[in-house]
Amino acid sequence: MASGVASSSPLASRPWVPVDIGDSRFLCKSWFGQTQYRVLLLDGECLWEEQMEADGIQTRAQELNRRLRASIESFFAHLVAVVTPCLTGSGRDPGTGSGLSQVTVLRAEGHMTLRLKSELAGLPFHWEFHCRAAPVSEACVQLVRPLLVMTGALQRQVQLLSHLLQRKDAELQDYRENGAQLSRERLQTEPFEEEGFRHDFMTKSLPSLVEEDSSLDLSSDLQDLFSCIVARLNPNKHKRQNSRDEEEERREREERKKKEEEEEKNAQTTDADADVETRQKETKTQTPVKKTTLPTMQQVSSLSSTDRPAPKPKKKKVGLFR
């Protein structure tokens, strides 16, 4: 899938994390959404990246897992749970279900593939990250510019520390001139000389650091510093991204609530149908009502006169003339 996502993506404010995948050492940035992800990997020679959306993820999952019948939300959640420890440097135990031994790296000209093997619902689940070289503009946004700013910040920090050491030396010298003495000789130090310190660092410490090739090792302090610098470089973009994240969370909550309401409504409908069916069954099992048979016309005419009631006597009329 085409890359070139703007620096306002969720990766912009994330730190570079050193990870070991197979026999390779990387600096990694990763972001996983609901059904999408983006991964950046730096191996000291190239910056690799891959971005996938829902449609591409569904297609690749079907190609790699012919027997897969799960929904994209189900197997993507499993993918995130398995690969996150690997891409964040927290999966150190190869015996666990998310161990690094299940991810292998294959390199070819122009691209790099990360193959993941795991199990989903008792069946083998395979996934591949197809990474290609990121454009120079993306490397500058995600790596070069923040590192240049971080270098300047660290240099400024060294200058402040040098100035502080010089003040401490002046304070100690004042104590000595006023007769103060150390109770323990091993705490004795020489006055700090900035030029001599810089020379010793360039000739003694620096060569050993270059030989160790610690360019892909970032301490937690440097990671925090990197994140702060990126947030300062893109304050408006960072705010917009936070707004987008909040909007996505709000939409997910609304969808979840709507789904729960539909499930509750369906459950109520099912219960109502069951009650109606139960009442119908109970009505059918009740004792039938006896029907009253009315006499026919022949039966009425055959009644004897004795069975008929006697007519009432008529009243005599009363008036002026009798």
3-state SS class at 30: strand
> Is 125 contained in some domain?
yes
The 10s digit of each residue's pLDDT in 213-222 is 666 777 788 8
Higher pLDDT, 109 or 52: 52
Largest interatomic CA distance in the chain: 166
> Is 238 contained in some domain?
no
> Is 37 contained in some domain?
yes
238: left (phi over 0), alpha (psi -120 to 50) or beta: alpha
Mean pLDDT of the region 73-90:
88
Residue 242 in this model has a pLDDT that exceeds 60: no
Residue 211's pLDDT band (cuts 50, 70, 90): confident
Asked which of 76-80, 131-135, 181-185, 273-277 is least confident by mean pLDDT, the reply is: 273-277
Residue 72 in this model has a pLDDT that exceeds 50: yes
The 10s digit of each residue's pLDDT in 83-115 is 998 898 775 443 343 343 488 899 988 889 999
Mean pLDDT of the region 101-130:
87
CA distances for 117 relative to 114, 257, 272, angstroms: 10, 34, 47
Burial 176-205 (b: 16+ CB within 10 A, else e): eeeeeeeeeeeeeeeeeeeeeeeeeeeeee
Look over the chain and give the mean of its residue pLDDT values, rounded to a whole number. 77
Asked which of 57-66, 171-180, 189-198, 269-278 is least confident by mean pLDDT, the reply is: 269-278
Residue 294's pLDDT band (cuts 50, 70, 90): low
Structural domain harbouring 105: 17-134
Rounded Cα–Cα distance for residues 288 and 283 (Å): 10
> Is 70 contained in some domain?
yes
> Is 192 contained in some domain?
no
Tokens read off for 283: 């009505």
Asked which of 154-168, 223-237, 247-261 is least confident by mean pLDDT, the reply is: 247-261
Higher pLDDT, 100 or 132: 132
Residue 130's pLDDT band (cuts 50, 70, 90): very high
Residue 195 in this model has a pLDDT that exceeds 80: yes
Residue 281's pLDDT band (cuts 50, 70, 90): low
pLDDT for 5 equals 40
Q: What percent of the chain has pLDDT over 70?
A: 67
Sheet holding 24-32, edge to edge: 17-21, 24-32, 37-42, 47-52, 123-133, 111-120, 103-108
pLDDT for 54 equals 92
> Is 214 contained in some domain?
no
> Is 94 contained in some domain?
yes
Residue 316 in this model has a pLDDT that exceeds 50: yes
The count of domains in the chain is: 1
Residue 3 in this model has a pLDDT that exceeds 60: no
Residue 298's pLDDT band (cuts 50, 70, 90): low
Q: Write the CATH number for 67.
A: 2.170.210.10
The 10s digit of each residue's pLDDT in 245-258 is 556 656 666 766 67
Residue 170 in this model has a pLDDT that exceeds 60: yes
Which residues lie below 8 Å from residue 53, measured CB to CB, with a gap of 6+? Answer: 1, 35, 36
> Is 62 contained in some domain?
yes
Mean pLDDT of the region 273-290:
61
